Amino acid sequence: MDKTNAQQALDFVKQQAASVETETDLHNLFFGIGGRFGQLFPTLDERETFRSSREYREICQIFESVGEKTSP
């Protein structure tokens, strides 16, 4: 069974979060120019739909935990 783009996004963020040093690094990998977000959700409609998903909420929590992990 194929994974949805939202599931692929979540998998990507989980994988990258384990190896990045800062929340900014993770943000750039996912949301930055050429990042996975733009690849998986190229249209505004797709992006808006993704923002209301369970996977997006979980991704936000991961970003927060990476920020906490790297703060002094």
- Domain layout of the chain by residue ranges: 5-70
pLDDT attached to residue 67: 77
Instruction: Read off the pTM.
Output: 0.87
pLDDT in tens, 30-72: 999 999 999 999 999 999 999 999 999 999 999 999 877 655 5
CB 9 within 8 A of CB 37: yes
Buried b (16+ CB within 10 A) or exposed e, 17-44: beebeebebbbebbeeeeebbeebbeee
Residue 1 clears pLDDT 70, i.e. is over it: no
Q: Quote the pLDDT of residue 62.
A: 95
Distance CA(46)–CA(25), nearest Å, equals 24
